[in-house]
Amino acid sequence: MDLLKVECLTHWIALIGYSIACVVAIFGVVFRKTPERSLFAILAASTALHTVALGIRWERLGHIPVVNDFEKLSANIWGLMVAVVIAYHLLPKMRAFVAFVMPVVIMLMAWMMLIPAAESSMPPTYDTIWLVIHIGFIKLFLGSAFVALGLAAVVLLRNAGIGQERLARMPQDMALDRTAYRCMALALIFDTLGVVAGAIWAQDAWGRYWSWDPLEVWSLVTWLTIGLMLHLRASFRTGPAVNAGMIVATWCIAFFTFFGIPFVTTNMHKGMV
């Protein structure tokens, strides 16, 4: 079996694994009993297979697979799942958050599978370590915000009177709010480092740190939104439900920035997230 077939196979198996994990997580919330070790094993194994698929593509093409639409989407999903696996391990009392983020992953994977897995070529201006650093920090940012999104969803549902009994094993809203706040603070740090690394890469490649292309503009909007959200929480001591609403709104902006703009723009920044 050649590497292309192995890459496609591992992508499909990862999608199946993510789908199984999604169903198990949702059933665990509905029936208030989750096989946590089995779910963690499925999440970790599926993410590992996704890693293998990306690694094979990197080896086949000879460059980091983040150039065309298929590669961008796959790499973004991989970053989200790495964060989910890490958070699932580190936050044992809050694991039900997985049930609220995995459906997003499944929809993104389904979208990815509809995109032709065409081979890409790396332009000379992208052949720099600063690109890898830039992308790495952006993945860490998106992953941290994704975990916060899952925790925020739990808070909002309970405040709306939905699933209170089924989510009773989760910590109180204040504890979820504190953890989500820390995740968003990490997201701001990673986003800042990603923007700085991207500016250094742009200066090295094109002789300017900032060019105000659509992705850069919306990256700035996202960064400012996160900072504003954290400032409002710290300054006005808003409650968990309000904070959760701000996290969801911030995530929507970040999603538009990194899952929307790169797929519709045609400027030189296209594909580099």
pLDDT, tens only, 136-179: 999 999 999 999 999 999 999 999 998 888 898 899 999 999 99
- Output the pLDDT for position 269: 57
pTM of the entire predicted model: 0.94
pLDDT at 270: 47
- Residue 144's pLDDT is 98
Residues with pLDDT less than 50, the chain: 270-273
Q: Which CATH number fits domain 123-273: 2.30.38, 2.120.10, 1.20.120, 1.10.10?
A: 1.20.120
Q: 3-class secondary structure for the chain?
A: CCHHHHHHHHHHHHHHHHHHHHHHHHHHHHCCCCCHHHHHHHHHHHHHHHHHHHHHHHHHHCCCCCCCHHHHHHHHHHHHHHHHHHHHHHCHHHHHHHHHHHHHHHHHHHHHHCCCCCCCCCCHHHCCHHHHHHHHHHHHHHHHHHHHHHHHHHHHHHHCCCCCCCCCCCCCHHHHHHHHHHHHHHHHHHHHHHHHHHHHHHHHHHCCCCCCCHHHHHHHHHHHHHHHHHHHHHHHCCCHHHHHHHHHHHHHHHHHHHHCHHHHCCCCCCCCC
Q: What is the pLDDT of residue 119?
A: 84
Taking the domains of the chain in order of start, what are their residue ranges?
A: 1-122, 123-273
Q: What is the structure's pLDDT at 266?
A: 58
